[in-house]
């Protein structure tokens, strides 16, 4: 079991180190939490809840390093990213093993977690063109205007448990390549794979103090949100915590981006390719045991597709529930016994509120892993929008099905849901797809794609209840988020030029 806030005693266990001013150090705290393999309950390491002095030291190191890092040539910063992407690529398999042991997802999906983060590092190698300002000459006689995209200073990142590789890589590479320094606070539930990536960043040449790591929970997060030397906060996690972080850091004058919970729908039209659609629905609902912010939660079956539900259930029954490191596993355990209890409570509420349960994963047994936090794929049919299983984010392998008669009804249903992370449409009609993409009020839309997470040349653009702040992670929006635009209007007088007269107006002359 998790030994929360107990002294760290077992010296055989791996401990998550702090990174302060280029040194990986053991925390001096007396508060430690076990890092537990979700398939076995084996303790795979321990994570400290850093002291106030340690957090202050990390921020001070970042503040000090900013003085020289912001002056470091952009090519030097880029070359560190080039080296980092190479190191991540060559270490991906060993990181994936640690990630699966502490997070539970399948090895193939752990490699995907690393790969999607690696793509952001690859994009960071193009910062020379991404961070360019603009220039126009002759806005008045002899007057030119240009912009600089300057780094902000010390930025901080707070990450969730479900993507311990991808989400830290959404944050610190783009922040530091823009010339900022960074303090990362990984999820306390699975920080070991994140730390392997951080070690690679140091190996790639990130100088002392430019990247720092502190571990902990609410107390550490609140310190980051309120410290006067921190200029910007990137948060990814639940809606409750994300809202708190956005408000607290905002009140302390920081730029904040908060990417939060979701309830993602897929709308299935009768003209969709049935086989491909059903495969996509099953993969998106139950992959990663439903613990993706872009996981499919609600299938909206339009018209005759109501007859596809039986086949959906048959396909889902073929999924193998097992420990993530076992070959051919499709659905691993959920992160913790607490998460499992929350998911079971929601499933029970669905039954109590009258939803038809077509597949019940509550009593799934996994041979050899009887202690694991497993929940089998669960499918509810004929749900309505008043049920808790519709209103709340389940973050587990549970798919709810709603039936409607028309595309318009489906669009109205999705738009009435407060979340806005992702949505999919399955159809063979370009016209239907165009109507849908135009009318749907969700930040990321997949057309015959069930999990439309954009590649890093674009940005992650969840919207409405799934996001606070204007600018999303990675891509051009991240460059804007991690820089301040400075606009310079300049005039250089030539020696022979007439001095002219005093100008008391606002017009440039």
The residues that touch ligand NAD, with contacts defined as CB under 6 A, are 158-163, 185, 187-188, 217-218, 221, 236-238, 241, 244, 259-262, 293, 393, 395, 421, 460, 462, 466
Are 378 and 397 contacting, i.e. CB atoms less than 8 angstroms apart? yes
Alpha carbon 438 to chain centroid distance?
A: 26
CA 30 vs CA 7, 26, 49, 252: distances in Å:
5, 11, 8, 29
CB 389 within 8 A of CB 400: yes
C-beta separation of 50 from 29 below 8 A: yes
CB of 173 to ligand NAD, least distance (A): 17
Q: Is 178 a catalytic residue?
A: no
Pairing of strands 181-185, 211-213: parallel
CA distance 45 to 13: 5
- Closer residue to ligand NAD (CB): 241 or 411: 241
Which residue's C-beta sits nearest to ligand NAD?
Answer: 237
Q: Can you name the residues that pair with 48 across neighbouring β-strands?
A: 32
Nearest to 305 by CA among 422, 426, 445: 426
Backbone φ/ψ region at 292: left (φ over 0), alpha (ψ -120 to 50), beta: beta
Check if the beta carbon of residue 375 is closer than 8 Å to that of residue 364. Answer: yes
Q: By C-beta, is 293 or 313 nearer to ligand NAD?
A: 293
φ/ψ of residue 291, rounded to 5: -95, 50
Q: What angle do the packed helices 192-203 and 166-177 form, to 10 degrees?
A: 30
Residue-wise burial string across 388-398, b where 16 or more C-beta atoms lie within 10 A, e elsewhere = ebbeebbbbbb
Which of the 8 DSSP states describes residue 70?
T
Minimum CB separation from ligand NAD for residue 237, in Å? Answer: 3
475: left (phi over 0), alpha (psi -120 to 50) or beta: left
* Vertex 452: Cα angle to 447 and 457 (nearest 5): 115
Q: Which is nearer to ligand NAD, 184 or 268 (CB)?
A: 184
Nearest Cα to Cα of residue 375 among 384, 367, 388, 366? 366
Smallest gap, in angstroms, from Cβ of residue 292 to ligand NAD? Answer: 7
Q: Which residue of the set 125, 178, 225, 293 is catalytic?
A: 293
Number of Cβ within 10 Å of residue 405's Cβ equals: 10
The residue count of the chain comes to: 509
Which of 219/311 has CB closer to ligand NAD? 219
Task: Judge whether 334 and 38 are in contact, CB under 8 Å.
Answer: yes
> Least CB distance from residue 93 to ligand NAD, whole Å?
23
The secondary structure of 457-505, three-state, reads CCCCCCEECCEECCCCCCHHHHHHHCEEEEEEEEECCCCCCCCCCCCCC
* Residues belonging to the active site: 293
């Amino acid at each position: 079991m998790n030994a929360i806030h107990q002294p760290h005693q077992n010296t055989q266990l791996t401990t998550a180190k702090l990174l302060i001013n280029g040194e990986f150090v053991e925390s001096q705290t007396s508060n430690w939490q076990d890092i537990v393999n979700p398939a076995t309950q084996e303790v795979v390491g321990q994570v400290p809840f850093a002291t106030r002095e340690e957090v202050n030291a990390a921020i001070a190191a970042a503040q000090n390093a900013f003085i020289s890092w912001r002056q470091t040539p952009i090519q030097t910063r880029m070359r560190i990213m080039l080296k980092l992407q190479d190191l991540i690529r060559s270490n991906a398999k060993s990181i994936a093993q640690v990630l699966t042991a502490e997070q539970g997802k399948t090895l193939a999906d752990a490699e995907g977690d690393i790969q999607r983060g690696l793509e952001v590092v690859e994009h960071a190698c193009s910062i020379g063109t991404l961070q360019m300002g603009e220039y126009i000459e002759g806005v008045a006689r002899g007057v030119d205007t240009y912009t600089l995209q300057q780094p902000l200073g010390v930025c901080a990142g707070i990450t969730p448990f479900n993507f311990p590789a991808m989400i830290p890589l959404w944050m610190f590479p783009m922040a530091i390549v823009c010339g900022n320094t960074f303090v990362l606070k990984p999820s306390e539930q699975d920080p070991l794979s994140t730390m392997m990536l951080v070690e690679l960043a140091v190996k790639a040449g990130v100088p002392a103090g430019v990247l720092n790591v502190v571990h902990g929970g609410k107390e550490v997060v609140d310190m980051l949100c309120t410290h006067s030397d921190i200029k910007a906060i990137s948060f990814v996690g639940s809606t409750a915590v994300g809202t708190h972080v956005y408000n607290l850091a905002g009140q302390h004058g920081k730029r904040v981006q908060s990417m939060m919970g979701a309830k993602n729908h897929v709308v299935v039209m009768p003209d969709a390719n049935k086989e491909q659609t059903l495969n996509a629905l099953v993969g998106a609902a139950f992959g990663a045991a439903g613990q993706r912010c872009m996981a499919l939660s609600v299938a909206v079956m339009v018209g005759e597709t109501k007859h596809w539900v039986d086949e959906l259930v048959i396909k889902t029954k073929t999924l193998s529930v097992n420990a993530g490191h076992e070959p051919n596993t499709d659905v691993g355990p959920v992160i913790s016994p607490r998460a499992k209890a929350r998911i079971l409570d929601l499933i029970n509420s669905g039954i109590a509120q009258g939803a038809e349960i077509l597949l019940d994963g509550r009593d799934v047994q996994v041979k050899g892993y009887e202690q694991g936090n497993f929940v089998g794929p669960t499918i509810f049919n004929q749900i309505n929008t008043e049920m808790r299983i519709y209103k709340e984010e389940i973050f587990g392998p549970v798919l709810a099905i709603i039936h409607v008669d028309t595309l318009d009804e489906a669009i109205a249903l999705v738009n009435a849901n407060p979340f806005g992370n992702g949505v999919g449409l399955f159809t063979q009609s370009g016209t239907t797809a165009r109507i849908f993409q135009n009318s749907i009020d969700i930040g990321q839309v997949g057309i015959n794609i069930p999990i439309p997470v954009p590649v890093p040349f674009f940005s992650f653009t969840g919207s409405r209840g799934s996001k606070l702040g204007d600018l999303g992670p990675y891509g051009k929006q991240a460059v804007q988020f991690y820089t301040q635009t400075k606009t310079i209007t300049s005039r250089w007088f030539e020696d022979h030029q007439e001095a002219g007269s005093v100008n008391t107006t606002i017009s440039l002359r």
